[in-house]
Amino acid sequence: MLQATEKIWHNGKLIKWDDAKLHVLAHVVSYGSSVFEGVRCYDTMRGPAIFRGPEHIRRLVDSAKIYRMDVPFTVEQITQGMVELVRANNLQSCYIRPIVLRGYGDMGVLPKHNPIETYLACWAWGKYLGDEAITQGVDVCVSSWTRIAPNTLPALAKAGANYMNSQLIRMEANSNGYAEGIALDASGYISEGSGENIFVVRDGKILTPPLGASVLPGITRDAIVKIAARLNIPVVETIIPRELLYIADEVFFSGTAAEVTPIRSVDRITVGKGSRGPITEKIQSRFFDIVTGKAEDEFGWLLPIAGVREKQPVGV
């Protein structure tokens, strides 16, 4: 269950958690007109820090632009709003959910008099696919549902409506006993998980589907590409046939929620040795070292929340 915090940021002001309410006839409820983000704030050695905050908010504003929603705040203002919010709720680590939506006004598909509302909320959150998933890996399936096709719902926008497709994928996987489902794109090539990008490793090379395969341009996906480059592991963006999942040496998911999660089987076919592979482990450990502040923040990905208590050194 969601753990309530004290404050939510609404159109530039901090309001009480319980006051962040919508009318049932708000445009978003009938027509799915929201764009949103999922961001993590990590408990680092130097206090809490938001991972790639400006990049997430840039994607939020991009998503809004695709849907002709005018957000009356800049990327900097919303990013600063996230910092204020985490500080006000006094959290060491949390998940942050920015949402831009069409609110209450007219009723009808054309949003003529529906205000744009911007919200930021945050709460404490653990591992998305379970604590063990990070080390042991997860069992997944290829979904019978196809990912949203080009020129239907735009995949580059992180819109609430896209997650009706994600729900179908995730619920089907769940009811068949899998941790997650992998969707194919409209051409039958690998797209992504219901809430994660995917990477396939074979012969020391990492492959990941291109943006044209109906994938969300993941912020973690981009982080993996940059980390792999530093580790001299080649990454190729290319269309990937489904069957490569079965003969891959390693497969893993990336995402804000899933972080870097190994996949140990697909459709009950064991991937590689059936446990976290060496390339996944290398990337994963570099990723966690950066986000927890153990390694130097060489890419400038951490935005510190000044004002929340820094960790005290452990006395000896």
Whether 158 is catalytic? yes
Binding segment toward ligand PLP, per CB under 6 A, in 15-23, 191-199, 265-273, 306-314: 191-199
Instruction: Give the 3-state secondary structure of 8-29.
Output: EEECCEEEEHHHCCCCCCCHHH
Q: Is 265 left (phi over 0), alpha (psi -120 to 50) or beta?
A: beta
* Residue 158 CB, nearest approach to ligand PLP (Å): 6
Amino acid at residue number 128:
Y
Nearest in space to 242 (alpha carbons), one of 163, 196, 197, 187: 187
Q: 87 or 97: whose CB is closer to ligand PLP?
A: 97
State which of residues 34, 79, 220, 261 lies at the interface with ligand PLP (CB under 6 A). 220
> What are the tokens at 215?
């994938």
195 in contact with ligand PLP (CB under 6 A): yes
Cα angle 167-180-161, degrees, rounded to a multiple of 5: 20
Distance (Å, whole) CA 32 – CA 46: 39
Distance of CA 275 to CAs 62, 120, 257, 262, 263, Å? Answer: 37, 37, 21, 8, 8
185 in contact with ligand PLP (CB under 6 A): no
Nearest in space to 89 (alpha carbons), one of 252, 307, 278: 307
Distance (Å, whole) CA 259 – CA 89: 23
Amino acid at residue number 122:
C
Q: 117 or 259: whose CB is closer to ligand PLP?
A: 259
Compute how many residues bind ligand PLP; rule: CB under 6 A: 14
Burial degree of 149 (CB within 10 A; 0-12, 13-18, 19+) = middle
Which of 13, 65, 112, 158 is catalytic? The answer is 158
192 in contact with ligand PLP (CB under 6 A): yes
What string marks each residue from 27 to 66 as x (binds ligand PLP by CB under 6 A) or -? -----------x----------------------------
Element containing residue 270 per DSSP (H, E): strand 269-270
**Interface positions, 246-305, toward ligand PLP (CB under 6 A):** 254-256
Binding segment toward ligand PLP, per CB under 6 A, in 100-108, 219-227, 260-268, 292-300: 219-227
Q: 64 or 219: whose CB is closer to ligand PLP?
A: 219
196 in contact with ligand PLP (CB under 6 A): yes
* Residue 96 CB, nearest approach to ligand PLP (Å): 12
103 in contact with ligand PLP (CB under 6 A): no
Q: Which residues are catalytic?
A: 158
Query: Where does this chain bind ligand PLP (CB under 6 A)?
Result: 38, 166, 192, 195-197, 216, 218-221, 254-256
